[in-house]
Structure 1
Amino acid sequence: MSVFVNYGGPKLDKKQKQLVRSQAMVSVRGQQKLARAANAHQRDTGVTNPSGPSAASATVLSLNPRRLAPAIPTPSTTDVSEDSEDSTAMVLAKAPRANTSRKRAAAAAAAAAVAAPALVSSRARHAVPPSNIRDMCGAPPLSTHSTGVSARTFQDYLSRCNNYSSYLDQAFVLVGFKQPSYFRPDMSKSACIYIGWLLTAGVLDAYKGRDEMNYPYYEYRAVSELQKFIDGAEQRELHEVVYPVVVLSMFEMVRLSPRAITHSAAVEMFIKSRGGLAKMPVVMQHLVVMGDMLQGVSLDAPLAFNILNPVTSLRAATVGPFEGQQFRSSPFLMCDADEFDLANKYVQPHIHGDLPEVLQSALDSLRRFFKIPSERGWEDEADWQHLGTVDLDRIIDQPWEASDISGLFLETCALTARIMRRTLLEGLDAFDDGANKEDLQVIYENVRFIGLKAWVGLPYIYVWVNLIGFEASTDIKMKAYFVAEVVRCAFSYGCYQMEIFHAILSNFLSMRNALKERKFARIALTLGDCGFLA
């Protein structure tokens, strides 16, 4: 619990604090203004419980420009002119003070009614006053949701949830089946509403290529409401406590913020103190395990619920059956007896000859890097040289037309394979080396241009491209886009094929760790040769 007790939320500068205060006070100011107008009307007229609609009460509602409830329908031009409405507002603005006689107050109200009789009758038809005039001053459901969240924020949240659900559902086209995504919006708790708003905004902004993903007001409210929610964690089920924290961690992960590690530490503490993952529903177990792996990918953080085993094979036996129609293998993992020729089923004939060769080149680069023999056993050095020298340059240098989506798809795969070969076999220290920058830029542009339909039936080749793209990126906007796409695949079809998706992410993390070890070994060797380690 102390993780959140001591967590004060995002650090805001002076300008951001002013923004937070101004947005937080929008509904409060409107409610206070309406309350003052209602109280003045009570004092001036002596009416404490109006039994029917009046011009004053109807116009008080219309004069509140900050009210968050849907506006009362305005009368048509045949009912009242703009001049008559303005005159009504002027009469009410000059309402008598508290020490004015009731006779003069009644006269003023009567004058208002005479000034715009059509307005009064129209508003009277639509405005049904509550039993107490104070109920008009911002009480639910006029301006807030039942959770206390403003109606405008809640409406925006619903719209974003719809867009984000559609974004996740689109990924099912890759696998040929449709299931409910693992995004389950919670509308019963204010903390979940603000956190869900952040997740949907962050992921979709990353997908759109926004330069920044900062939402200071909503971040502040999300953490504040989460703190209140966590304070009562002992009385709640484990999955109820874990879910909002996992979602908040995903938001921070997509924008590559180290705060995700803080939230994940809280998740680990909650789960281990309550008896482990088995105490939660299977859906929540998948969310936690997948989120743990994805955090390792995006932030290179230690894994809490997964163990990385040494990579001894790039082929795995899977447990079926699998829904839909798809090629389940990729250069990161070959499933069962798959060969890359099977991928030709899902692409246009004019790239049938090149696609299996490109994918095999990437697989061979990884196998040689891990020193894993092929199914035929160890090849000699000449064979090894052939494995990494498939003519990728010929494919990449072809003048692919923008209308040739299959050609751009093949070019993207070839560029990704060349980045792998250059990094793993030609001695680069990391994927984000400057030598890969131009290839990465083309991959980024192609993936955004050709869309998901180019990858139908090849879901894990798409994941492979995005993982390599993420690892090779130095630009935050690019990295956020690639990781958002991996997250989209993970929480759509990935959680329904946990065995394959988990193995692919595991092999990717093992490759990254081995590459770092090779880099450190080179540094140590260099320092030793220079006498620094003597």
Structure 2
Amino acid sequence: MGAPRLWLSSGDVGDEEEATEATRYLLSSPLLRRRGDDFTLLNEFITDKTIARDFIQSLEETFTVVELLCRYGYAPADDLKAISAFLHSDSRLNQLADSSSSLSNIPGLILQTYALAARIFFNSVCNRHRLDHESNNSDMRALCDLMRFIGVKRWRGMPYVYLWVILIGHAASTTKERHFFVAELMRCAFSYGSYQTDVFARFFENFLHVRRAVSSPLVPSI
């Protein structure tokens, strides 16, 4: 497995027709980003402007940390303090992850689900432990419950954001919840994974690199 490649050009997506089709949905995610993409296409699928704004900011924050992990193989000590700020009790991330959105507010629930995945990720980065560490168990279970309730169709237009959440959930899961995440991974593989094979494969390669870097012992936790 080579070095992670986080940026996509138009030529990476496929032929001209496939590249044009890919502009109709959010191809970018925390693990793989189209050059020049600022995640604002999310507004097409999350029409609540406040939720979309918070979602875009969360995607940017996660991508920034993924970039660090891919560049160094771990998060440098100087950056860990900034990352840990996401985990402070009154942080925006915690407010999003612990929000009590109405069950009819699907965009709010989608954002909450993403925030739970982000908190699992940041917690493991800051504490240098595996994603399936017991400290992530409650967030993983809440994430799983929300994913079951929301359903894949509500994530229309953001397939690789959905896949990122599923991969974080799978990596953090215990035996009981893992069956659900495996089933969703297979669903993704047999849908867009079957016609975007290069993008899909690069996404997974990047995730494997990030998962290994998350628990790197090269620098102490904070």
Q: What's the CA shift string for 1:315-350, capped at 9, x where partnerless?
A: 122424323631101101102321122212111224
**DSSP 3-state at the match of 2:179:** helix
**Distance change in 2, residues 1:388/1:496 (3 Å):** farther
Cα 1:408–1:485 shift into 2, 3 Å = same
Q: Aligned to 2:143, which of 443, 449, 455?
A: 443
Would the aligned equivalents of 1:361 and 1:388 in 2 still touch at CA under 8 Å? no
Per the TM alignment, residue 479 of structure 1 is displaced from its structure 2 partner at its CA by 1.2
Partner in structure 1 of residue 180 of structure 2: 481
For residues 179-328 of structure 1, what are the structure 2 equivalents within 5 Å? 308-311=1-4, 313-319=5-11, 320=14, 321-322=17-18, 323=21, 325-328=24-27
Q: CA 1:441 to 1:365, structure 2 compared with 1: closer, same or farther past 3 Å?
A: same
1:512 match: 211
How far does the alpha carbon of each residue in 1:472-505 deviate from its partner, in whole angstroms, 9 at most, with x for none?
A: 012x231121122111111122111112111110
Give 1:314's aligned amino acid: L
Q: Which amino acid aligns with 2:57?
A: E
Report the equivalent of 1:420.
Answer: 121
- Residues 400 and 514 of structure 1: is their aligned pair in 2 closer, same or farther, counting only changes over 3 Å? same
Q: Which has the higher contact order (CA 8 A, sep 6+)?
A: 2
Matched, 1:466 2:158: no
Q: CA deviation at 1:386?
A: 6.6
Distance change (3 Å), C-alpha of 1:463 and 1:388: farther
Q: CA RMSD in A?
A: 2.4
Residues 376-415 of structure 1: matches in 2 within 5 Å? 381=78, 385=82, 389=86, 391-415=92-116
Give, in whole Å, the separation in 1 of the partners of 2:53 and 2:134: 31
Q: Distance in 2 between matches of 1:443 and 1:451?
A: 12
Count of residue pairs the alignment pairs up: 203
Q: How does 1:161-172 map to 2 (within 5 A)?
A: none
Query: Which residue identity does 1:410 align to in structure 2?
Result: L
What is the one-letter code of the residue matched to 2:180?
A: Y
Partner of 1:53: none
Give yes or no for contact 1:314–1:333 (8 Å, CA) kept in 2.
Answer: yes
The whole-number CA distance in structure 2 between the counterparts of 1:456 and 1:511 is: 25
Is structure 2 residue 66 aligned with structure 1 residue 366? Answer: yes
Could you tell me whether the CA contact under 8 Å between 1:344 and 1:355 is conserved in 2? no
Unmatched runs of 5 consecutive residues or more in structure 2: 73-77
Larger Rg, first or second structure (1 or 2): 1
Structure 1 counterpart of 2:30 = 331
Tell me which moved more, 343-352 or 502-511: 343-352
The one-letter amino acid of 2:82's match is Q
- Contact 1:392/1:414 (CA < 8 Å) preserved in 2? yes
TM-score (norm 2): 0.82
Is it true that 1:345 corresponds to 2:44 in the alignment? yes
Q: 1-side partners of 2:172 and 2:80: how far apart?
A: 28
Alpha-carbon distance change, 398 to 367 in structure 1, aligned in 2, over 3 angstroms: same
Give yes or no for contact 1:318–1:500 (8 Å, CA) kept in 2: no
Q: Is the 8 A contact 2:163 2:188 kept in 1?
A: yes
User: Is 1:457 paired with 2:153?
Assistant: no
Q: Is the 8 A contact 1:364 1:387 kept in 2?
A: no
Percent sequence identity is: 33
1:494–1:501 CA contact under 8 A, matched in 2 = yes
Q: 1:513 Cα shift?
A: 2.9
* Residues 85-164 of structure 1 mapped to structure 2, 5 A cutoff: none
Displacement of 1:384 after TM fit? Answer: 7.5
1:366, CA displacement in angstroms? 1.5
Contact 1:327–1:459 (CA under 8 A) maintained in structure 2: yes
TM-aligned CA deviation for residue 382 of structure 1: 7.7
**Judging changes above 3 Å, is the alpha-carbon distance between structure 1 residues 388 and 329 closer, same or farther for their aligned structure 2 residues?**
farther
Larger helix proportion, structure 1 or 2?
Answer: 2
What letter is aligned with 2:2?
N
Contact 2:117–2:165 (CA under 8 A) maintained in structure 1? yes
Shift of 1:510: 1.2
Residue 354 (structure 1) aligned with residue 54 (structure 2): yes
How far apart, CA to CA, are the structure 1 residues paired with 2:84 and 2:182? 29
Name segments (4+ residues, structure 1) moved above 6 Å.
none
Aligned equivalent of 1:503 = 202
**Secondary structure of the corresponding residue to residue 353 of structure 1:** helix
Task: Name the SS of the counterpart of 2:127 in structure 1.
Answer: coil
Instruction: For residues 80-121 of structure 1, give each alpha carbon's deviation from its aligned partner in whole angstroms, at most 9, with x where no partner exists.
Output: xxxxxxxxxxxxxxxxxxxxxxxxxxxxxxxxxxxxxxxxxx
Q: What is the distance in 2 between the residues matched to 1:420 and 1:391? A: 15
Match of 2:75 in 1: none
- What do the CA deviations read for 1:39-72 (whole angstroms, capped 9, x no partner)? xxxxxxxxxxxxxxxxxxxxxxxxxxxxxxxxxx
Change in CA separation of 1:334 and 1:328 when aligned onto 2, cut-off 3 Å: same
Alignment pair present for 1:490 and 2:189: yes
Contact 1:318/1:499 (CA < 8 Å) preserved in 2? no
